[in-house]
Structure 1
Amino acid sequence: MFRFSEGKNSALGCFLLFQLSSLFFFTPLHSQNFSSKTITPNSDELILVTEVSSGGPRSEKVYGSSEFLKREYSPASTFKTYLVLSLLENHSIDPKEKIECSDKHIKDSPRLLDLRDALFYSSNDYFEKVFSKLGKEKLDLTLRKIGYLENFKSKVSGEDWWIDLVGLKHGGKIRLTPKKIHSSWTKIFENAYKLPKDIVEEWRKTLFWSECPEREANVYGKTGSWEGNFWFQGALLRSENDYVIYTILNRSKSGSRTGTIQRFYELTRCKVPSLE
Protein backbone atom coordinates (compact mmCIF):
# COMPACT_ATOMS: atom_id res chain seq x y z
CA MET A 1 0.00 0.00 0.00
CA PHE A 2 1.21 3.51 -0.82
CA ARG A 3 1.07 6.28 1.83
CA PHE A 4 1.48 9.97 1.05
CA SER A 5 2.11 12.61 3.76
CA GLU A 6 -0.06 15.68 3.92
CA GLY A 7 1.01 19.16 3.05
CA LYS A 8 3.79 19.73 0.50
CA ASN A 9 3.94 16.07 -0.54
CA SER A 10 0.22 15.71 -1.22
CA ALA A 11 0.47 17.13 -4.74
CA LEU A 12 3.37 14.82 -5.53
CA GLY A 13 1.41 11.91 -4.12
CA CYS A 14 -1.58 12.65 -6.36
CA PHE A 15 0.69 12.89 -9.40
CA LEU A 16 2.33 9.53 -8.66
CA LEU A 17 -1.05 7.92 -8.05
CA PHE A 18 -2.28 9.20 -11.44
CA GLN A 19 0.82 7.80 -13.15
CA LEU A 20 0.25 4.39 -11.57
CA SER A 21 -3.43 4.34 -12.52
CA SER A 22 -2.47 5.19 -16.09
CA LEU A 23 -0.39 2.04 -16.27
CA PHE A 24 -3.41 -0.06 -15.31
CA PHE A 25 -6.18 1.68 -17.22
CA PHE A 26 -4.57 3.35 -20.20
CA THR A 27 -2.20 0.71 -21.54
CA PRO A 28 -2.28 1.04 -25.36
CA LEU A 29 -4.04 -1.86 -27.06
CA HIS A 30 -1.13 -2.28 -29.48
CA SER A 31 1.03 -3.44 -26.57
CA GLN A 32 -1.17 -6.51 -26.15
CA ASN A 33 -0.64 -9.74 -28.06
CA PHE A 34 -3.34 -10.72 -30.51
CA SER A 35 -3.69 -14.42 -29.88
CA SER A 36 -4.87 -16.03 -26.69
CA LYS A 37 -1.99 -17.14 -24.50
CA THR A 38 -3.80 -20.38 -23.66
CA ILE A 39 -5.98 -21.95 -26.33
CA THR A 40 -7.86 -25.03 -25.24
CA PRO A 41 -8.94 -26.90 -28.39
CA ASN A 42 -12.32 -28.55 -28.52
CA SER A 43 -12.53 -32.25 -29.26
CA ASP A 44 -12.06 -33.04 -32.95
CA GLU A 45 -10.49 -29.62 -33.53
CA LEU A 46 -7.12 -28.44 -34.79
CA ILE A 47 -5.93 -24.83 -34.58
CA LEU A 48 -2.77 -23.50 -36.24
CA VAL A 49 -1.60 -20.00 -35.32
CA THR A 50 1.08 -17.74 -36.80
CA GLU A 51 1.69 -14.49 -34.95
CA VAL A 52 3.94 -11.57 -35.78
CA SER A 53 4.17 -8.56 -33.48
CA SER A 54 6.20 -5.38 -33.85
CA GLY A 55 9.58 -5.86 -32.22
CA GLY A 56 8.77 -9.41 -31.15
CA PRO A 57 9.70 -12.87 -32.42
CA ARG A 58 7.58 -14.74 -34.94
CA SER A 59 5.43 -17.39 -33.26
CA GLU A 60 4.12 -20.64 -34.80
CA LYS A 61 1.83 -22.77 -32.63
CA VAL A 62 -0.42 -25.80 -33.08
CA TYR A 63 -3.25 -26.81 -30.76
CA GLY A 64 -5.28 -30.01 -30.92
CA SER A 65 -4.89 -33.63 -31.98
CA SER A 66 -1.56 -34.49 -33.57
CA GLU A 67 -3.41 -37.16 -35.58
CA PHE A 68 -4.97 -34.42 -37.71
CA LEU A 69 -1.52 -33.19 -38.68
CA LYS A 70 -0.64 -36.54 -40.25
CA ARG A 71 -3.64 -36.69 -42.58
CA GLU A 72 -4.56 -34.96 -45.82
CA TYR A 73 -7.90 -33.24 -46.29
CA SER A 74 -9.81 -31.43 -48.99
CA PRO A 75 -9.19 -27.69 -48.71
CA ALA A 76 -12.93 -27.29 -49.42
CA SER A 77 -13.88 -23.71 -50.31
CA THR A 78 -10.63 -22.29 -48.95
CA PHE A 79 -9.43 -23.28 -52.44
CA LYS A 80 -11.39 -20.31 -53.79
CA THR A 81 -8.78 -18.12 -52.11
CA TYR A 82 -6.25 -19.18 -54.75
CA LEU A 83 -8.77 -19.16 -57.56
CA VAL A 84 -9.38 -15.50 -56.72
CA LEU A 85 -5.64 -14.83 -56.62
CA SER A 86 -5.35 -16.20 -60.15
CA LEU A 87 -8.36 -14.21 -61.36
CA LEU A 88 -6.81 -11.01 -60.02
CA GLU A 89 -3.29 -11.82 -61.18
CA ASN A 90 -4.55 -12.35 -64.73
CA HIS A 91 -6.88 -9.35 -64.63
CA SER A 92 -9.70 -11.70 -65.58
CA ILE A 93 -12.33 -10.03 -63.43
CA ASP A 94 -13.61 -6.69 -62.20
CA PRO A 95 -13.89 -7.16 -58.42
CA LYS A 96 -16.73 -4.65 -58.20
CA GLU A 97 -18.87 -6.12 -60.99
CA LYS A 98 -22.06 -7.66 -59.62
CA ILE A 99 -23.29 -10.94 -61.04
CA GLU A 100 -26.63 -12.58 -60.35
CA CYS A 101 -26.01 -15.86 -58.53
CA SER A 102 -28.22 -18.69 -57.35
CA ASP A 103 -26.91 -20.67 -54.38
CA LYS A 104 -29.24 -22.58 -52.09
CA HIS A 105 -27.13 -21.82 -49.02
CA ILE A 106 -27.22 -18.04 -49.56
CA LYS A 107 -30.19 -16.12 -48.16
CA ASP A 108 -32.44 -14.29 -50.66
CA SER A 109 -30.86 -16.13 -53.59
CA PRO A 110 -30.76 -15.39 -56.46
CA ARG A 111 -28.98 -12.16 -55.60
CA LEU A 112 -26.32 -9.88 -57.05
CA LEU A 113 -22.80 -10.53 -55.77
CA ASP A 114 -19.45 -8.86 -56.39
CA LEU A 115 -16.15 -10.68 -55.79
CA ARG A 116 -15.95 -9.88 -52.09
CA ASP A 117 -19.57 -10.98 -51.59
CA ALA A 118 -18.93 -14.20 -53.50
CA LEU A 119 -16.06 -15.09 -51.16
CA PHE A 120 -17.89 -14.02 -48.00
CA TYR A 121 -20.93 -16.15 -48.84
CA SER A 122 -18.81 -18.78 -50.63
CA SER A 123 -20.93 -18.69 -53.76
CA ASN A 124 -20.31 -21.65 -56.03
CA ASP A 125 -22.44 -20.24 -58.83
CA TYR A 126 -20.38 -17.05 -59.00
CA PHE A 127 -17.07 -18.83 -59.57
CA GLU A 128 -18.52 -21.25 -62.11
CA LYS A 129 -19.77 -18.26 -64.10
CA VAL A 130 -16.50 -16.30 -64.07
CA PHE A 131 -14.12 -19.23 -64.56
CA SER A 132 -14.39 -19.10 -68.35
CA LYS A 133 -12.58 -15.74 -68.21
CA LEU A 134 -9.59 -17.44 -66.59
CA GLY A 135 -9.37 -21.11 -67.59
CA LYS A 136 -7.57 -24.03 -65.98
CA GLU A 137 -4.21 -23.40 -67.67
CA LYS A 138 -3.79 -19.96 -66.10
CA LEU A 139 -5.09 -21.23 -62.77
CA ASP A 140 -2.52 -24.05 -62.81
CA LEU A 141 0.26 -21.54 -63.44
CA THR A 142 -0.76 -19.62 -60.34
CA LEU A 143 -1.03 -22.79 -58.25
CA ARG A 144 2.44 -23.88 -59.34
CA LYS A 145 3.88 -20.43 -58.72
CA ILE A 146 2.81 -20.52 -55.08
CA GLY A 147 3.68 -24.20 -54.65
CA TYR A 148 0.12 -25.08 -53.72
CA LEU A 149 0.28 -28.53 -55.31
CA GLU A 150 3.83 -29.44 -54.33
CA ASN A 151 2.72 -31.87 -51.61
CA PHE A 152 -0.32 -33.17 -53.49
CA LYS A 153 0.35 -36.93 -53.53
CA SER A 154 -1.61 -37.61 -56.70
CA LYS A 155 0.87 -35.42 -58.54
CA VAL A 156 3.46 -38.18 -58.12
CA SER A 157 1.35 -40.57 -60.20
CA GLY A 158 0.70 -37.87 -62.76
CA GLU A 159 -2.96 -37.61 -61.85
CA ASP A 160 -4.43 -34.14 -62.23
CA TRP A 161 -6.42 -32.43 -59.50
CA TRP A 162 -9.17 -31.41 -61.90
CA ILE A 163 -12.60 -33.07 -61.75
CA ASP A 164 -14.97 -30.68 -63.49
CA LEU A 165 -16.30 -27.13 -63.22
CA VAL A 166 -18.40 -28.03 -60.19
CA GLY A 167 -15.26 -29.31 -58.47
CA LEU A 168 -13.87 -25.78 -58.34
CA LYS A 169 -15.83 -25.22 -55.15
CA HIS A 170 -13.56 -27.59 -53.21
CA GLY A 171 -10.38 -27.99 -55.30
CA GLY A 172 -11.29 -31.24 -57.00
CA LYS A 173 -9.00 -34.13 -56.03
CA ILE A 174 -6.59 -31.96 -54.03
CA ARG A 175 -5.85 -33.30 -50.55
CA LEU A 176 -3.33 -31.49 -48.35
CA THR A 177 -2.14 -31.53 -44.75
CA PRO A 178 -3.43 -28.84 -42.38
CA LYS A 179 0.10 -27.42 -42.11
CA LYS A 180 0.30 -27.03 -45.88
CA ILE A 181 -3.13 -25.41 -46.02
CA HIS A 182 -2.14 -23.01 -43.22
CA SER A 183 1.26 -22.29 -44.77
CA SER A 184 -0.27 -21.39 -48.16
CA TRP A 185 -2.73 -18.98 -46.57
CA THR A 186 0.00 -17.38 -44.45
CA LYS A 187 2.53 -17.00 -47.26
CA ILE A 188 0.08 -15.36 -49.65
CA PHE A 189 -1.18 -13.06 -46.90
CA GLU A 190 2.41 -12.05 -46.09
CA ASN A 191 3.28 -11.90 -49.83
CA ALA A 192 6.18 -14.29 -49.34
CA TYR A 193 6.07 -15.03 -53.09
CA LYS A 194 6.73 -11.36 -53.96
CA LEU A 195 3.61 -10.95 -56.06
CA PRO A 196 2.75 -7.43 -57.28
CA LYS A 197 1.71 -5.39 -54.25
CA ASP A 198 -1.45 -4.09 -55.90
CA ILE A 199 -2.60 -7.67 -56.57
CA VAL A 200 -1.98 -8.73 -52.97
CA GLU A 201 -3.74 -5.60 -51.70
CA GLU A 202 -6.79 -6.28 -53.87
CA TRP A 203 -6.72 -9.93 -52.83
CA ARG A 204 -6.86 -8.91 -49.18
CA LYS A 205 -9.76 -6.56 -49.85
CA THR A 206 -11.81 -9.39 -51.31
CA LEU A 207 -11.16 -11.44 -48.15
CA PHE A 208 -12.25 -8.68 -45.76
CA TRP A 209 -14.77 -9.89 -43.20
CA SER A 210 -15.20 -7.22 -40.57
CA GLU A 211 -13.65 -4.48 -38.52
CA CYS A 212 -12.58 -5.34 -35.00
CA PRO A 213 -12.45 -2.08 -33.03
CA GLU A 214 -11.99 -4.13 -29.85
CA ARG A 215 -8.53 -5.08 -31.11
CA GLU A 216 -7.93 -2.03 -33.35
CA ALA A 217 -7.70 -4.40 -36.32
CA ASN A 218 -9.41 -5.73 -39.44
CA VAL A 219 -10.50 -9.32 -39.95
CA TYR A 220 -9.92 -11.23 -43.20
CA GLY A 221 -11.01 -14.79 -43.80
CA LYS A 222 -12.44 -17.69 -45.78
CA THR A 223 -14.67 -20.58 -44.85
CA GLY A 224 -14.63 -24.12 -46.19
CA SER A 225 -17.03 -27.07 -45.73
CA TRP A 226 -16.56 -30.42 -47.50
CA GLU A 227 -16.37 -34.13 -46.62
CA GLY A 228 -17.11 -33.46 -42.96
CA ASN A 229 -14.32 -30.88 -42.65
CA PHE A 230 -15.22 -27.38 -41.50
CA TRP A 231 -12.48 -24.80 -42.04
CA PHE A 232 -12.04 -21.17 -41.17
CA GLN A 233 -8.86 -19.42 -42.20
CA GLY A 234 -8.66 -15.97 -40.73
CA ALA A 235 -6.24 -13.11 -40.25
CA LEU A 236 -6.43 -10.33 -37.69
CA LEU A 237 -4.37 -7.45 -39.08
CA ARG A 238 -3.37 -4.37 -37.13
CA SER A 239 -0.42 -3.38 -39.34
CA GLU A 240 2.01 -4.97 -41.78
CA ASN A 241 4.20 -6.01 -38.84
CA ASP A 242 1.49 -6.77 -36.31
CA TYR A 243 -0.95 -9.58 -37.06
CA VAL A 244 -2.08 -13.10 -36.24
CA ILE A 245 -3.21 -15.73 -38.75
CA TYR A 246 -5.38 -18.72 -37.85
CA THR A 247 -6.40 -21.94 -39.54
CA ILE A 248 -9.16 -23.82 -37.75
CA LEU A 249 -10.17 -27.36 -38.74
CA ASN A 250 -13.32 -28.74 -37.10
CA ARG A 251 -13.92 -32.45 -37.65
CA SER A 252 -16.74 -32.85 -35.15
CA LYS A 253 -19.90 -34.68 -36.26
CA SER A 254 -21.83 -31.73 -34.88
CA GLY A 255 -19.57 -29.22 -36.63
CA SER A 256 -20.88 -26.48 -38.91
CA ARG A 257 -19.76 -23.57 -41.04
CA THR A 258 -21.36 -21.06 -38.67
CA GLY A 259 -19.93 -22.74 -35.59
CA THR A 260 -16.40 -22.65 -36.99
CA ILE A 261 -16.75 -18.96 -37.88
CA GLN A 262 -17.93 -18.23 -34.35
CA ARG A 263 -15.00 -20.20 -32.96
CA PHE A 264 -12.56 -17.94 -34.83
CA TYR A 265 -14.25 -14.81 -33.46
CA GLU A 266 -14.20 -16.32 -29.99
CA LEU A 267 -10.44 -16.84 -30.23
CA THR A 268 -9.78 -13.35 -31.56
CA ARG A 269 -12.21 -11.71 -29.11
CA CYS A 270 -13.88 -9.78 -31.91
CA LYS A 271 -17.60 -9.29 -32.54
CA VAL A 272 -19.11 -11.70 -35.07
CA PRO A 273 -20.51 -9.78 -38.08
CA SER A 274 -23.87 -10.53 -39.66
CA LEU A 275 -23.50 -13.70 -41.74
CA GLU A 276 -26.49 -12.90 -43.95
Structure 2
Amino acid sequence: MFRFSEGKNSALSCFLLFQLSSHFFFSPLYSQNFSPKTITPNSEELILVTEVSSGKPKSEKVYGASEFLKREYSPASTFKTYLVLSLLENYSIDPEEKIECVDKHIPNSPRLLNLRDALFYSSNEYFEKIFPKLGKDKLDLTLRKIGYLENSKANTKIEDWWIDLAGLKHGGRIRLTPKKIHSSWAKIFGNGYGLSKGITEEWKKTLFWSECPEREANVYGKTGSWEGSFWFQGALVRSQSDYVIYTILNRSKSGSRSGTIIRFYELTGCKIPSLE
Protein backbone atom coordinates (compact mmCIF):
# COMPACT_ATOMS: atom_id res chain seq x y z
CA MET A 1 0.00 0.00 0.00
CA PHE A 2 1.03 3.59 -0.45
CA ARG A 3 -0.40 6.91 0.54
CA PHE A 4 -0.03 10.48 -0.63
CA SER A 5 0.33 13.33 1.80
CA GLU A 6 -0.38 16.20 -0.58
CA GLY A 7 -3.70 17.19 -2.16
CA LYS A 8 -7.25 17.16 -0.90
CA ASN A 9 -8.29 13.79 -2.28
CA SER A 10 -7.18 10.27 -1.59
CA ALA A 11 -5.24 8.44 -4.29
CA LEU A 12 -8.23 6.20 -4.99
CA SER A 13 -10.59 9.16 -5.34
CA CYS A 14 -8.24 10.84 -7.80
CA PHE A 15 -7.99 7.65 -9.83
CA LEU A 16 -11.75 7.30 -10.03
CA LEU A 17 -12.13 10.97 -10.89
CA PHE A 18 -9.88 10.61 -13.92
CA GLN A 19 -11.69 7.47 -15.02
CA LEU A 20 -15.19 8.87 -14.71
CA SER A 21 -14.52 12.31 -16.16
CA SER A 22 -13.03 11.15 -19.46
CA HIS A 23 -14.82 12.38 -22.56
CA PHE A 24 -12.50 11.81 -25.51
CA PHE A 25 -10.94 8.66 -26.94
CA PHE A 26 -7.74 8.39 -28.96
CA SER A 27 -6.05 5.53 -30.76
CA PRO A 28 -2.98 3.74 -29.33
CA LEU A 29 0.09 5.90 -28.85
CA TYR A 30 2.91 3.49 -29.31
CA SER A 31 4.03 0.57 -31.36
CA GLN A 32 3.52 -2.89 -29.90
CA ASN A 33 7.19 -3.20 -28.96
CA PHE A 34 7.15 -0.39 -26.41
CA SER A 35 4.00 0.92 -24.74
CA PRO A 36 0.67 0.20 -26.47
CA LYS A 37 -1.53 2.46 -24.38
CA THR A 38 -4.47 4.72 -25.09
CA ILE A 39 -5.03 8.22 -23.72
CA THR A 40 -8.48 9.34 -22.64
CA PRO A 41 -8.12 12.88 -21.22
CA ASN A 42 -10.78 14.68 -19.28
CA SER A 43 -11.97 18.19 -20.10
CA GLU A 44 -9.56 19.91 -17.69
CA GLU A 45 -6.46 17.92 -18.48
CA LEU A 46 -3.72 18.49 -21.04
CA ILE A 47 -1.25 15.76 -21.94
CA LEU A 48 1.77 16.28 -24.18
CA VAL A 49 3.68 13.25 -25.40
CA THR A 50 6.90 12.90 -27.37
CA GLU A 51 8.07 9.46 -28.43
CA VAL A 52 11.67 8.99 -29.56
CA SER A 53 12.73 5.84 -31.38
CA SER A 54 16.28 5.10 -32.55
CA GLY A 55 17.25 8.61 -31.44
CA LYS A 56 14.68 10.38 -33.63
CA PRO A 57 11.30 11.85 -32.63
CA LYS A 58 8.68 9.39 -33.84
CA SER A 59 5.63 11.31 -32.73
CA GLU A 60 4.71 14.49 -30.84
CA LYS A 61 1.09 14.58 -29.77
CA VAL A 62 -1.27 16.70 -27.70
CA TYR A 63 -4.36 15.35 -25.96
CA GLY A 64 -7.14 17.04 -24.03
CA ALA A 65 -7.72 20.70 -23.18
CA SER A 66 -6.04 22.44 -26.13
CA GLU A 67 -7.05 25.87 -24.79
CA PHE A 68 -4.35 25.45 -22.13
CA LEU A 69 -1.74 25.62 -24.89
CA LYS A 70 -2.47 29.32 -25.40
CA ARG A 71 -1.77 30.28 -21.80
CA GLU A 72 1.27 30.54 -19.57
CA TYR A 73 1.46 28.95 -16.15
CA SER A 74 3.87 28.73 -13.27
CA PRO A 75 6.15 25.73 -13.74
CA ALA A 76 5.60 25.08 -10.03
CA SER A 77 8.10 22.60 -8.59
CA THR A 78 9.13 21.36 -12.03
CA PHE A 79 11.41 24.41 -11.78
CA LYS A 80 13.50 22.51 -9.22
CA THR A 81 14.64 20.27 -12.08
CA TYR A 82 16.76 23.15 -13.42
CA LEU A 83 17.78 24.38 -10.00
CA VAL A 84 19.29 20.92 -9.49
CA LEU A 85 21.13 21.19 -12.81
CA SER A 86 22.72 24.43 -11.68
CA LEU A 87 23.71 22.91 -8.33
CA LEU A 88 25.36 19.99 -10.11
CA GLU A 89 27.18 21.87 -12.86
CA ASN A 90 28.56 24.35 -10.32
CA TYR A 91 29.61 21.56 -7.94
CA SER A 92 27.63 23.28 -5.22
CA ILE A 93 26.33 20.07 -3.72
CA ASP A 94 27.22 16.52 -2.82
CA PRO A 95 24.24 14.55 -4.21
CA GLU A 96 24.58 11.93 -1.47
CA GLU A 97 24.82 14.34 1.47
CA LYS A 98 21.73 14.04 3.66
CA ILE A 99 20.03 17.05 5.16
CA GLU A 100 17.28 16.97 7.77
CA CYS A 101 14.05 18.52 6.47
CA VAL A 102 10.67 19.02 8.10
CA ASP A 103 8.35 19.67 5.13
CA LYS A 104 4.83 18.90 6.31
CA HIS A 105 3.85 17.16 3.06
CA ILE A 106 6.69 14.63 3.25
CA PRO A 107 5.91 11.29 4.95
CA ASN A 108 7.71 10.58 8.23
CA SER A 109 8.97 14.15 8.47
CA PRO A 110 11.38 15.26 9.83
CA ARG A 111 13.64 13.02 7.82
CA LEU A 112 17.06 13.02 6.19
CA LEU A 113 17.06 13.64 2.44
CA ASN A 114 19.75 13.45 -0.21
CA LEU A 115 19.40 15.28 -3.53
CA ARG A 116 17.40 12.56 -5.27
CA ASP A 117 15.08 12.25 -2.23
CA ALA A 118 14.58 16.02 -2.20
CA LEU A 119 13.36 15.97 -5.80
CA PHE A 120 11.26 12.83 -5.34
CA TYR A 121 9.40 14.31 -2.36
CA SER A 122 9.67 17.86 -3.74
CA SER A 123 11.13 19.20 -0.53
CA ASN A 124 11.06 22.97 -0.23
CA GLU A 125 13.18 23.18 2.90
CA TYR A 126 16.01 21.17 1.37
CA PHE A 127 16.50 23.61 -1.48
CA GLU A 128 16.15 26.66 0.74
CA LYS A 129 18.91 25.29 2.94
CA ILE A 130 21.24 24.37 0.07
CA PHE A 131 20.67 27.42 -2.14
CA PRO A 132 23.18 29.77 -0.45
CA LYS A 133 25.95 27.47 -1.70
CA LEU A 134 24.85 28.28 -5.26
CA GLY A 135 23.30 31.76 -5.31
CA LYS A 136 21.03 33.47 -7.80
CA ASP A 137 23.77 34.68 -10.16
CA LYS A 138 24.99 31.17 -10.93
CA LEU A 139 21.43 29.89 -11.25
CA ASP A 140 20.64 32.70 -13.68
CA LEU A 141 23.63 31.71 -15.80
CA THR A 142 22.32 28.15 -16.01
CA LEU A 143 18.80 29.28 -16.92
CA ARG A 144 20.20 31.58 -19.60
CA LYS A 145 22.48 28.87 -21.02
CA ILE A 146 19.64 26.37 -21.46
CA GLY A 147 17.22 29.00 -22.79
CA TYR A 148 14.69 28.27 -20.07
CA LEU A 149 12.85 31.59 -20.42
CA GLU A 150 13.03 31.85 -24.21
CA ASN A 151 9.76 32.72 -25.95
CA SER A 152 8.01 33.65 -22.72
CA LYS A 153 4.94 35.73 -23.60
CA ALA A 154 5.27 37.47 -20.26
CA ASN A 155 8.74 38.64 -21.37
CA THR A 156 10.16 37.70 -17.99
CA LYS A 157 13.86 38.41 -18.02
CA ILE A 158 16.35 36.11 -16.36
CA GLU A 159 17.24 38.74 -13.79
CA ASP A 160 13.59 39.50 -12.97
CA TRP A 161 12.12 36.10 -12.07
CA TRP A 162 13.31 36.17 -8.47
CA ILE A 163 10.84 36.92 -5.65
CA ASP A 164 12.46 35.51 -2.53
CA LEU A 165 13.98 32.31 -1.20
CA ALA A 166 10.56 30.73 -0.75
CA GLY A 167 9.87 31.39 -4.43
CA LEU A 168 12.39 28.71 -5.38
CA LYS A 169 9.67 26.12 -4.93
CA HIS A 170 7.72 27.43 -7.94
CA GLY A 171 10.14 29.56 -9.97
CA GLY A 172 9.05 32.96 -8.72
CA ARG A 173 7.56 35.13 -11.48
CA ILE A 174 8.28 32.63 -14.27
CA ARG A 175 5.29 31.79 -16.45
CA LEU A 176 5.64 29.46 -19.44
CA THR A 177 3.42 27.65 -21.92
CA PRO A 178 2.89 23.90 -21.46
CA LYS A 179 4.76 23.26 -24.71
CA LYS A 180 7.79 25.17 -23.44
CA ILE A 181 7.72 23.30 -20.15
CA HIS A 182 7.41 20.02 -22.05
CA SER A 183 10.22 20.76 -24.49
CA SER A 184 12.58 21.74 -21.66
CA TRP A 185 11.92 18.39 -20.01
CA ALA A 186 12.33 16.44 -23.26
CA LYS A 187 15.74 17.96 -23.92
CA ILE A 188 17.16 16.38 -20.78
CA PHE A 189 16.81 12.91 -22.25
CA GLY A 190 17.91 13.90 -25.73
CA ASN A 191 20.86 15.86 -24.27
CA GLY A 192 19.67 18.85 -26.21
CA TYR A 193 21.50 21.08 -23.76
CA GLY A 194 24.91 19.84 -24.86
CA LEU A 195 26.02 19.07 -21.31
CA SER A 196 28.93 16.84 -20.41
CA LYS A 197 28.10 13.16 -20.06
CA GLY A 198 29.03 13.20 -16.39
CA ILE A 199 26.68 16.06 -15.52
CA THR A 200 23.90 14.63 -17.68
CA GLU A 201 24.06 11.21 -16.06
CA GLU A 202 24.22 12.66 -12.54
CA TRP A 203 21.24 14.87 -13.36
CA LYS A 204 19.18 11.93 -14.62
CA LYS A 205 20.02 9.94 -11.48
CA THR A 206 18.43 12.63 -9.33
CA LEU A 207 15.26 12.46 -11.47
CA PHE A 208 14.87 8.69 -11.20
CA TRP A 209 11.48 7.53 -9.88
CA SER A 210 11.14 3.80 -10.36
CA GLU A 211 11.91 0.76 -12.45
CA CYS A 212 9.20 -0.38 -14.88
CA PRO A 213 9.79 -4.05 -15.74
CA GLU A 214 6.33 -4.09 -17.33
CA ARG A 215 7.77 -1.92 -20.14
CA GLU A 216 11.42 -2.92 -19.76
CA ALA A 217 12.20 0.69 -18.92
CA ASN A 218 12.99 3.13 -16.13
CA VAL A 219 10.80 6.00 -15.02
CA TYR A 220 12.07 9.52 -14.35
CA GLY A 221 9.85 12.33 -13.18
CA LYS A 222 9.03 15.56 -11.37
CA THR A 223 5.82 16.82 -9.83
CA GLY A 224 4.61 20.40 -9.47
CA SER A 225 1.62 22.01 -7.74
CA TRP A 226 1.00 25.76 -7.71
CA GLU A 227 -1.76 28.27 -8.55
CA GLY A 228 -4.30 25.59 -9.39
CA SER A 229 -1.97 23.72 -11.74
CA PHE A 230 -1.01 20.12 -11.02
CA TRP A 231 1.90 18.86 -13.11
CA PHE A 232 3.64 15.58 -13.61
CA GLN A 233 6.52 15.38 -16.03
CA GLY A 234 7.56 11.83 -16.70
CA ALA A 235 9.96 9.94 -18.91
CA LEU A 236 9.69 6.25 -19.74
CA VAL A 237 13.22 5.38 -20.84
CA ARG A 238 14.21 2.05 -22.39
CA SER A 239 17.58 3.20 -23.75
CA GLN A 240 19.43 6.36 -24.67
CA SER A 241 17.71 6.35 -28.05
CA ASP A 242 14.28 4.91 -27.18
CA TYR A 243 12.05 6.73 -24.72
CA VAL A 244 8.71 8.47 -24.27
CA ILE A 245 8.32 11.90 -22.64
CA TYR A 246 5.11 12.99 -20.91
CA THR A 247 3.90 16.29 -19.51
CA ILE A 248 0.56 16.19 -17.70
CA LEU A 249 -1.22 19.39 -16.63
CA ASN A 250 -4.44 19.13 -14.64
CA ARG A 251 -6.39 22.32 -13.89
CA SER A 252 -9.46 20.71 -12.32
CA LYS A 253 -10.70 22.19 -9.04
CA SER A 254 -10.59 18.68 -7.65
CA GLY A 255 -7.11 18.02 -9.04
CA SER A 256 -4.16 17.09 -6.85
CA ARG A 257 -0.49 16.23 -6.92
CA SER A 258 -1.33 12.62 -6.21
CA GLY A 259 -3.80 12.59 -9.09
CA THR A 260 -1.18 13.51 -11.66
CA ILE A 261 1.19 10.87 -10.35
CA ILE A 262 -1.49 8.19 -10.58
CA ARG A 263 -2.43 9.43 -14.04
CA PHE A 264 1.10 9.05 -15.37
CA TYR A 265 1.49 5.52 -14.05
CA GLU A 266 -1.92 4.62 -15.38
CA LEU A 267 -0.95 5.84 -18.87
CA THR A 268 2.37 4.02 -18.93
CA GLY A 269 1.12 0.78 -17.43
CA CYS A 270 3.90 0.86 -14.85
CA LYS A 271 3.48 -0.03 -11.19
CA ILE A 272 3.45 2.97 -8.86
CA PRO A 273 6.40 2.86 -6.45
CA SER A 274 6.08 3.26 -2.72
CA LEU A 275 6.08 6.97 -1.95
CA GLU A 276 6.82 6.57 1.73
TM-score (norm: length of structure 2)? 0.85
What residue number does 1:7 align with? none
CA contact (8 A) 2:46 2:63 kept: yes
State the secondary structure of the residue aligned to 2:215: coil
- Aligned AA (1:203): W
- Residues 129-160 of structure 1, C-alpha deviations (whole Å, 9 max, x = no match): 00001000000000011100112344368971
Give the unaligned 5+ runs of structure 2. 1-29
What residue number does 2:232 align with? 232
- Aligned AA (1:144): R
CA contact (8 A) 1:154 1:160 kept: no
What residue number does 1:274 align with? 274
What residue number does 2:260 align with? 260
What displacement does 1:37 show?
A: 5.2
CA contact (8 A) 2:38 2:267 kept: no
What residue number does 2:14 align with? none
CA distance in 1, matches of 2:227, 2:31: 41
What displacement does 1:176 show?
A: 0.3
State the secondary structure of the residue aligned to 2:263: helix
- Aligned AA (1:77): S
1:67 is the counterpart of 2:47: no
CA contact (8 A) 1:34 1:268 kept: no
CA distance in 2, matches of 1:256, 1:59: 28
Question: Would the alpha carbon gap of residues 107 and 157 (structure 1) be closer, same or farther in structure 2, given more than 3 Å must change?
Answer: closer
CA distance in 2, matches of 1:267, 1:255: 17
Identity of aligned residues (%): 84
CA distance in 2, matches of 1:267, 1:249: 14
CA distance in 1, matches of 2:50, 2:179: 11
What displacement does 1:54 show?
A: 2.9
Q: Which moved more, 1:103-112 or 1:50-59?
A: 50-59
Question: Would the alpha carbon gap of residues 137 and 55 (structure 1) be closer, same or farther in structure 2, given more than 3 Å must change?
Answer: closer
- Residues 225-272 of structure 1, C-alpha deviations (whole Å, 9 max, x = no match): 000100000000000111000000011111111111000000000000
Q: Report how many aligned residue pairs link the two structures.
A: 247
CA contact (8 A) 1:211 1:219 kept: yes
What residue number does 1:4 align with? none
State the secondary structure of the residue aligned to 2:185: helix
What displacement does 1:189 show?
A: 2.3
Q: Which moved more, 1:151-160 or 1:192-201?
A: 151-160
What displacement does 1:36 show?
A: 4.4
What residue number does 2:48 align with? 48
Query: If you compute each CA radius of gyration, which structure gives the higher value, 1 or 2?
Result: 1
Give the unaligned 5+ runs of structure 1. 1-29
CA contact (8 A) 1:34 1:244 kept: no
CA contact (8 A) 1:46 1:250 kept: yes
CA distance in 1, matches of 2:197, 2:142: 16
- Residues 176-196 of structure 1, C-alpha deviations (whole Å, 9 max, x = no match): 000000000111221112111
Counterparts of 1:175-186 in structure 2 under 5 Å? 175-186=175-186
What residue number does 1:136 align with? 136
What displacement does 1:123 show?
A: 0.1
CA contact (8 A) 1:235 1:245 kept: yes
